[in-house]
Amino acid sequence: NAGVTQTPKFRILKIGQSMTLQCTQDMNHNYMYWYRQDPGMGLKLIYYSVGAGITDKGEVPNGYNVSRSTTEDFPLRLELAAPSQTSVYFCASSLVGLAKNIQYFGAGTRLSVL
Amino acid sequence: TQLLEQSPQFLSIQEGENLTVYCNSSSVFSSLQWYRQEPGEGPVLLVTVVTGGEVKKLKRLTFQFGDARKDSSLHITAAQPGDTGLYLCAGMRGLSGGYQKVTFGTGTKLQVIP
């Protein structure tokens, strides 16, 4: 079972470069999320999506963009990379509902902006 | 912004010792989850507590949700090296449309020394 798959696992960017972090899930979950985790910290929500074609901002959306053209895919775009975006990025997906809101996480993408 | 403060931030103990991790907030949550995250991996859900005062046990781990649903604790009995990891609490609050907003705690890094 693949679950949530993120690519790439590691990436180094120069300031001002752009890149797309890929996320795909094969569990037919409606809800998908992007988080960032800074060293030794919890997760902060960047963007989320409640279904194909619907996205919304989380706590820290500045500098990022997302799209959700299919149920399976939820890519995260960095247009002008900045050192403050150095972090580990996690994608997650979940079903709807109080008791069923179990988030399944990918293994993460470690990004360094130099 | 809802904050979930975890304490302690770091904990290093000997194998066989007991420990308790706390997760506190001034906000009420509809439910609360605990995750464990190992280096290089995404968080994995351990438990969800829903009712104020609820206690759940998972082998040597005991989870409690505060009566007012603002706080939670995780108690580990006879810690083992395999318990080493980052423990995250996450509070959920229901919004209109059925979406559950999730706020992650600051994390507790546990090291169990053999």
Cβ atoms of B35 and B56 closer than 8 Å: no
What's the CA gap between B31 and B17, in Å, rounded? 29
Three-state DSSP state, A105: strand
Selected for mutation to probe chain A from B1, B50, B65, B104 (highest A CB count within 10 Å) is B104
Positive/negative CA dihedral, B59, A2, A85, B104: negative
* Cis, peptide link before residue A8, omega less than 30° from 0: yes
Task: Choose the closest CB to A42 out of B1, B94, B104.
Answer: B104
pLDDT value of position B102: 82
Determine the Cα–Cα distance for residues B60 and B31; give it in Å rounded to an integer.
22
* Cβ–Cβ below 8 Å for B43 and A43: yes
- Mean pLDDT, range A14-21, rounded to an integer: 97
- Predicted confidence band of residue B95 (pLDDT cuts 50, 70, 90): low
pLDDT tens for B9-36 read: 999 999 999 999 999 999 999 889 999 9
- Whose tokens are 């001002």? That residue is A16
Q: pLDDT tens across B60-80, in order?
A: 999 999 999 999 999 999 999
In Å, how far is B106's CA from the nearest CA of chain A? 4
Separation of alpha carbons B16 and B38, rounded Å: 20
pLDDT band at residue A98 using 50, 70 and 90 as cut-offs? very low
Q: Chain A contacts of B100, Cβ < 8 Å?
A: 97-98, 101
Q: Is the pLDDT of residue A69 over 90?
A: yes
- Report pLDDT for A59: 87
Which pLDDT belongs to residue B97?
Answer: 62
What is residue A99's DSSP assignment? T
